[in-house]
């Protein structure tokens, strides 16, 4: 039975799962979720009551959350690219960077972006400033951590890179990476050129009008 990914092309977390699928040319069906359609929202809620995508169906098994989807693929549908190293310490490093990207880039980036669609009287300037500060801290930490590495956790593309590709794309749109962080900027460039992410990025282009801060006209 084929895999089915319930997702939207413009979502950073959905792109994270798509990168893993594209890396190994894993066959799957894409189920486009449009929250503006009641039937789509209801179908997703039936799979995952939190109504968050991506969600992967693997036969009778429902796998939510992008990180868990990638680990599921690595275990049950392995390919040439392994997303978690066999070495336990190297696997911890990949998971650490994955958590930093999700918690300290993706989450505050969403705070900045979603605040822009609030009514002016409901906006949270203080919260947005705090979110930007967290992003800045994450940028500096990653710039130091990535020194001497081609990919996030070392020489091999991993789970950490699957999330860092969309994470750094959208974070840089919302809060530009400072020019002084040359290591991080070069890493972001490598991610954008990776064929798996280049494909996901191209598929997202028709939805760029959805970005509340405006299409930056690059990447």
Kindly report, residue by residue over 111-130, the tens digit of the pLDDT. 999 999 999 999 999 999 99
pLDDT tens per residue, range 9-60: 999 999 999 999 999 999 999 999 999 899 999 999 999 999 999 999 999 9
Cα distances (angstroms) measured from residue 197 to each of 59, 71, 200, 201, 212: 26, 18, 5, 6, 22
Residue 32, H or E segment: strand 28-32
How far apart CA 109 and CA 159 sit, in angstroms, is: 20
Q: Domains in the chain, please, with CATH?
A: 3-76 (3.40.30.10), 88-201 (1.20.1050.10)
CB 113 within 8 A of CB 212: yes
Task: Give the angle 69-86-73 at the CA atoms, nearest 5°.
Answer: 20
Model confidence, pTM: 0.96
Q: Name the phi and psi angles at 5, rounded to 5.
A: -105, 120
Per-residue b/e over 90-119, b at no fewer than 16 CB within 10 Å? bbebbbebbebbbebbbebbbbbbebeeee
């Amino acid at each position: 039975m084929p895999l089915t990914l319930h997702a939207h092309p413009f979502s950073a977390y959905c792109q994270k799962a798509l990168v893993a699928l594209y890396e190994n040319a894993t066959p799957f069906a894409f189920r486009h979720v449009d929250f503006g359609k009641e039937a789509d929202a209801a179908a997703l809620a039936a799979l995952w009551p939190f109504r968050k995508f991506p969600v992967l169906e693997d036969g009778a098994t429902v796998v939510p959350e992008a990180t868990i989807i990638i680990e599921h693929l690595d275990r049950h549908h392995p390919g040439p690219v392994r997303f978690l190293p066999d070495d336990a310490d190297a696997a911890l490093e990949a998971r650490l960077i994955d958590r930093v990207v999700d918690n300290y880039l993706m989450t505050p980036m969403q705070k900045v972006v979603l605040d822009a669609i609030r009514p002016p009287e409901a906006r949270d300037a203080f919260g947005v400033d705090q979110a930007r500060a967290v992003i800045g801290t994450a940028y500096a930490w990653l710039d130091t951590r990535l020194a001497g590495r081609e990919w996030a956790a070392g020489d091999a593309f991993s789970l950490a890179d699957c999330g860092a590709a969309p994470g750094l794309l959208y974070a840089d749109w919302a809060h530009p990476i400072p020019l002084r962080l040359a290591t991080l900027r070069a890493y972001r460039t490598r991610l954008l050129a990776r064929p798996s992410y280049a494909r996901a990025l191209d598929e997202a282009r028709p939805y760029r009008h959805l970005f509340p801060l405006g299409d930056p006209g690059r990447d």
